[in-house]
């Protein structure tokens, strides 16, 4: 069967990912990294592709790039891929393929996601535990974006120029993005991970579910609200209203969000923009909520408002609240009930039989 053509548009940014076959290491040492960067720069210039961001990880790499022509990006990736494999195999005394099939490319909706994608790429080494400071990872564009070094591979995007009137202002603004990316990069991580597994055929892309508790519950609710990858989800005492959290949470975490989102109330716009409760019109999947009624960190009304919104949209929804539980369930019976209820919920939403009896859950709109 002929391979489907990959969508590439001239003058639009694309997020490109190329992985090593079977997750094998594709950069063994400093020289491997340097040679890849040399080849990227050479072929980007040859095929008129502007690279705005990149990161080389041990077994894959990311690019954020804008081609001047529709065939510029495919030609660049083809040239880099073939040249690097020949060089790598000769240097390390090996033969055979290095890449896991063709590279993957996603068209970026510039205004909303380009800077978020750039941050996602630059933060990869930190999230993978390779460094405590992403600016210190030598094989990424992060240091360039922060003004710490000149990187000949990087071409700033127009949206970066719009971040400030001087280099210092733009670099300071980007540093703020690195700190205030909660609700964006974490969601992108989950979505990209799920899509990757679906593309490999390891999971059913039409029956993907996401679950999380507390901050992970916030990521879950954001993924279900602002993306369309997952078909069901479970929020365990998750945050749906960042502004309410900033106002009402306990003293220990009272300024927790200043670096994750931005100072409140000065950046109230971000708190509203990233709160799922304000965008329930975008929801289109089944959801189950678990909540402790004595939770002082994320009060029950955060879950209850979401439940009502989902119910009003006529989407399948279930809500289980526990007397005497706080932020994170402690009683063994309740922990077991949560796990079984979530499994039961998925069985009804996705239509599969359970191996043994599980106490039913009341699901509205199913």
Q: Which of 67, 60, 30 is nearest to 46 (CA)?
A: 67
Instruction: Write the pLDDT tens digit of every residue in 13-60.
Output: 999 999 999 889 999 999 999 999 999 999 999 999 999 999 999 999
Q: Quote the pLDDT of residue 208.
A: 97
Percent of the chain at pLDDT > 90 equals 66
Identify the three-state secondary structure at position 29: coil
Q: Phi/psi at 240 (nearest 5 deg)?
A: -115, -15
Q: Quote the pLDDT of residue 74.
A: 95
Instruction: Using pLDDT thresholds of 50, 70 and 90, give the confidence band for residue 112.
Output: low
| CATH number attached to the domain at 14-179 | 3.30.70.1290
**With contact defined as beta carbons under 8 Å apart, do 137 and 125 qualify?**
yes
pLDDT of 6 above 70: no
**With contact defined as beta carbons under 8 Å apart, do 323 and 293 qualify?**
yes
Domain ranges of the chain: 14-179, 185-350
Q: Phi/psi at 23 (nearest 5 deg)?
A: 60, 25
Kind and range of the H or E run holding 279: none
3-state secondary structure 79-123: HHHHHHHHHHHHHHCCCCCCECCCCEEEECCHHHHHHHHHHHHHC
pLDDT, average across residues 280-291:
96
pLDDT, average across residues 327-341:
94
The domain defined by 185-350 carries CATH number 3.20.20.120: no
Range list of β-strands (E), 86-180? 104-107
Instruction: Write the pLDDT tens digit of every residue in 166-199.
Output: 888 888 888 777 777 788 878 888 898 898 889 8
């Amino acid at each position: 069967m002929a391979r489907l053509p990959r969508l590439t548009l001239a003058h639009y940014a694309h997020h490109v990912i190329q992985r090593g076959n079977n997750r094998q290491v594709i950069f063994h040492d400093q020289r491997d990294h340097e040679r890849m960067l040399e080849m990227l720069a050479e072929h980007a210039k040859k095929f008129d592709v502007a690279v705005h961001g990149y990161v080389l990880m041990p077994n894959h790499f990311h690019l954020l790039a804008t081609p001047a022509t529709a065939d510029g990006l495919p030609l660049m990736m083809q040239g880099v891929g073939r040249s690097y494999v020949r060089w790598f195999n000769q240097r390390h005394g090996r033969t055979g393929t290095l890449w896991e099939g063709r590279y993957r490319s996603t068209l970026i909706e510039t205004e909303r996601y380009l800077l978020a994608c750039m941050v996602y790429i630059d933060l990869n080494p930190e999230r993978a535990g390779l460094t405590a400071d992403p600016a210190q990872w030598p094989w990424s564009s992060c240091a360039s974006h922060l003004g710490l070094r000149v990187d000949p591979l990087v071409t700033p995007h127009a949206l970066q120029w719009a971040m400030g009137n001087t280099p210092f202002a733009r670099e300071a603004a980007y540093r703020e993005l690195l700190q205030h990316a909660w609700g964006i990069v974490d969601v992108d991580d989950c979505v990209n991970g799920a899509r990757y597994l679906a593309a490999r055929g390891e999971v059913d892309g039409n029956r993907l579910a996401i679950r999380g508790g507390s901050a992970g519950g916030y990521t879950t609710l954001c993924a279900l609200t602002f993306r369309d990858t997952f078909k069901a989800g479970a929020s365990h005492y998750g945050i749906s209203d960042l502004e309410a959290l900033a106002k009402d949470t306990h003293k220990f975490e009272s300024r927790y969000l200043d670096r994750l989102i931005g100072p409140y109330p000065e950046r109230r716009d971000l708190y509203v923009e990233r709160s799922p409760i304000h965008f329930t019109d975008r929801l289109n999947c089944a959801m189950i909520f678990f909540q402790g009624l004595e939770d002082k960190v994320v009060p029950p009304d955060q879950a209850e408002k979401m439940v009502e919104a989902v119910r009003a949209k006529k989407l399948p929804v279930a809500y289980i609240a526990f007397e005497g539980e706080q932020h994170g369930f402690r009683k063994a019976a309740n922990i077991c009930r949560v796990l079984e209820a979530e499994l039961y919920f998925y069985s009804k939403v996705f239509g599969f039989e359970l191996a043994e009896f599980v106490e039913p859950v009341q699901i509205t709109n199913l």
